[in-house]
Amino acid sequence: MHKRTKLWSSLSLAALVGGTSLAVAAADELQAAAAMDTAAADTGQAAAAGGEGEGEGLAQNVDPATNDVAYLSQLGLMRGHLLVGLELYRAGHIEHARMHMKHPKSELYADMEPAFKARGSAGFADQLTALANAVESDDSSAEEVEAAYAAVLEGISASEARVGSLSPATRLGVVVKLVRTAADEYALGVVDGKVVNGHEYQDAYGFTRTAQSLVANMDVGDDADLAATRDGVKALIQGLFDANLWLGIMPPEAVDGNASQLYGAAARIEIAALSL
């Protein structure tokens, strides 16, 4: 059996039995993941207690103008915010939708402008503004909001295309960043099973959904081992939703979820990516 398939079998078993200590028992390859899970969970708990850590911001000394994972991850975070905003809008939670629709422009876009210029992308600032304005206005129809949303996604896709051909390892690197950022947000939003910050709870949902879409659209060609890796990652992310970390787009008072589940998933996906 190919090394990658064997590795993914170990990772899949760990995902099924759950928990860091059981993951270590499942396979020797997961000893590193267990250490990463523990450190990440500690970081998330510290962030929840003392304020936001790295979160959605760009990591220090990482330039999205030259680093494809950083560039695509930031675009993925924007997609996540907008996905949440649209789901909230469609469900009639307009005020919540307005907040999420504004965040890509107010929190993330400015830091990406040098990267857009360096990569020859026109960006999508005007489209973001038009979408935020459409959601903000009580006079906008649902069709106008949907059209504005589609225009932003078109702009994001055009910016993503500046990277060129995307390797599976790079794609999974972006997935890791999105899931790990979702874990950071979830650690801030959910403490001891109680939802203490609904916005962060929603952010985590949007980022994980975006990661899920990236994996679903992964082209594996005729590579059976790569297909096994993709399918394993798909199952791992779907498992986060099946475990009811989110009970709908609007936050409940309590959930049976923990950020360590997201950190653990990110660590296992990272190991899978490193094997490619």
3-class DSSP state for residue 98? helix
pLDDT greater than 70 at residue 125? yes
Q: Is 101 within a domain?
A: yes
Pair 269, 170 in one domain: yes
More confident call, 1 vs 257: 257
pTM of the model: 0.84
Pair 151, 250 in one domain: no
Pair 158, 180 in one domain: no
> Using one digit for the tens of pLDDT, what is the confidence trace for 62-120?
899 999 999 999 999 999 999 999 999 999 999 999 999 999 999 999 999 999 999 99
Q: Is 100 within a domain?
A: yes
Of the residues 107, 131, 163, the one at which a domain ends? 163
Q: Is 58 within a domain?
A: no
Q: State how beta strands 194-195 and 190-191 pair.
A: antiparallel
Of the residues 163, 191, 218, the one at which a domain ends? 163
Q: Is 62 within a domain?
A: no
Domain that holds residue 233: 3-51+165-274
Pair 24, 155 in one domain: no
Pair 256, 205 in one domain: yes
With CA atoms as reference, report the closest residue to 153 among 214, 86, 216, 79: 79
Q: Which residue has the tokens 């994980």?
A: 208
End-to-end Cα, the chain, rounded Å: 15
Cβ within 8 Å of residue 228, ≥6 positions away = 4, 5, 8
